[in-house]
Chains A and B, each alone.
Chain A
Amino acid sequence: MKATIGLEIHVQLNTESKLFCSCTTEIDDLEPNTAVCPICLGYPGSKPKLNRKAVEHGITIGMALESRIKPVIRFSRKNYFYPDMAKNYQITQYEVPLAEGGYLMVGDHRVGITRVHIEEDPAKLVHVGGGITNARETLIDYNRAGVPLVEIVTEPDIESTEEARDFLKKLSLILEHLGVYDPSGEGSLRVDANVSIDGGNRVEVKNITGFRNVEKALNYEVVRQRSAVNMGLPIVRETRHFDAETGVTSTLRLKEQEEDYGYIAEPDLTQIHLSEELVGGLTASMPELPDQRIQRLVDQNGITRFQSDIIVNTGLRMSIFYEKCCELYPDSKTVANWLVTYLLKSLNYEGMSLEESSVAPETFTELLTMMDDGTISERLAKELIKDYVKTGKSPRKLVEEKNLALLPVDELRVVVGEVVSENQKAVDDYRSGKTKAAEYLIGQVLRRVRARAAANTVRELVLEALKGN
């Protein structure tokens, strides 16, 4: 059964002030209702004033999604009553959105973008004594009210939950590259998903935060719908809520009960002309997009597409990290190899993102330099990287602490001598033609010195000793 999915994505822009007032948007650590003013609190007599930067970000996003930017835009009042609405209408764009008719490629599949527009975020509700469907009462924090949102609406072109997840990851990466949004912000990306099976009734799942939850929610919903169809049960057109804790979608309200939003043009705002110069200027100064970066790293740094893909798709900070490392260490291919094969693996193992760890370009490249100057072996480096990621301590420090530096050859010779003299039988075996005995001796030496010697060096010295004796 084929799934048809359309997404409505709300992205919180990282402007410094709100969309229609000058209250700060740095609200994550604030006490409730402290980043508010008469405008975002909907006081009588207050009027909105549009944030220029939000419009510019909207245009940039529209351009990155290959859309047509409207030459003149207007705002609308979307009217509905809800405790999170300071004015009981939301200022959004109904008739004339910022951009239309774009697309985003997910692999080879083209997902159409119906529209991109700007609107204000409502307040945050805390449900007391229950969840969204049964709380006793609500506590309201208006700090978030008025934060600028860009809404991106896709055509119902997405055909699976995996594709939805990939779409969102790619979109998030693009937005991060554009510098218009902070992916680590609480609730900075929220999704409403419309799902149907085999052309059946469309179900909307509202307000899913973060793309991991989107994948979960969609998986549940698709399975739910498929099961219903298999059992001959009808799929009702409705709006559902996704509970991130239980992983279940449940009915919020039936579509028939939905209100008419009674849109009018927002009469407290002027229309805004988006001139070709403005749009051209923003396009020209648009930061490098992920696809462009992937290509550039392949061309400039000589790394493989596979590696470039991984580096860029891990996130903007990883790209920046990689390029900074290449500034500090001359061989960009080696950097890529060690980053992709070992560093990322260790980060994943520790369950840390790059940002969460204390890994830094200076210390990471130190590891590579230490291999070059013979302080440590490759084998040791691979071991060391795990501790490095876990503790963030510089590799040089770790080596000192754990006394892991490669033994100087003289010291190693002493150990070899000791092992040889302790293993006369093996020596005799070797002399009588059993070359395998040498391997045994090498193994013994390596065991004793652990990672403090390169296997090749040990081999050389053991053979030398055996020859000599």
Chain B
Amino acid sequence: MAEIAVTRELVKELAKAARLVLSEEETDKYTQQLSVILDAFKELDEVPTDGVEPSYHPIEIKDSLREDKPEKWEWDPLANVKDHEGKYIRGPSIK
């Protein structure tokens, strides 16, 4: 595990990547908290894992597939949408 310095810059980068707006105080707070937490995670370095397969699930699950048959969901997809134009859902611009 690389030595990771949890800096304010890193926290700002993470916030941006996660689409969160943080105040300066919050950035400070999270920098300190994340630093402590990520530091604690470093203990995993102590575990030898060469040749160990990752467990994406905790138990073996049979291949799960679906037959190619169309089925219609009877519902109103716009019922929970606040802003729609006709049947289109309005979204923010992409400029």
A→B interface (CB under 8 Å): 15-17, 22-26, 31-34, 36-38, 41, 49-55, 74, 81-83, 125-127, 132-142, 259-260, 262, 265, 267, 269-273
Contact = CB atoms under 8 A, between A and B. Distances in A.
A16 B70 contact: yes
A132 B94 contact: yes
Given A82-B94, A140-B90, A265-B56, A260 B17 contact: yes
A272 B63 contact: yes
Nearest to B62: A270
Q: Which 10 pairs between the two chains have the least Cβ-Cβ distance?
A: A53-B68, A139-B88, A37-B73, A83-B91, A22-B71, A24-B70, A52-B65, A138-B91, A32-B87, A49-B66
Nearest to A53: B68
13 contacts: A16-B68, A23-B72, A26-B70, A49-B64, A74-B56, A125-B91, A133-B95, A259-B17, A269-B64, A270-B57, A270-B61, A270-B62, A272-B65
B68 A138 contact: no
B89 interface: yes
A137 B68 contact: no
Contacts of B57: 267, 270
> Which of A34, A38, A55, A271 lies at the interface centre, i.e. has the most chain B CB atoms within 10 A of its CB?
A271
Contacts of A22: 66, 69-71
A387 B64 CA distance: 56
Main secondary structure of the interface of A (DSSP, over half): loop
Contacts of A53: 67-68
A54 B73 contact: no
Given A17-B70, A24-B72, A265-B56, A32 B86 contact: yes
B88 A33 contact: yes
Nearest to A34: B87
Interface in B38-92: 56-57, 61-73, 75, 77-78, 85-92
Contacts of B94: 82-83, 125, 127, 132, 135, 138
B29 to A, nearest CB: 23
A182 to B, nearest CB: 15
A318 to B, nearest CB: 28
A54 B68 contact: yes
A321 to B, nearest CB: 28
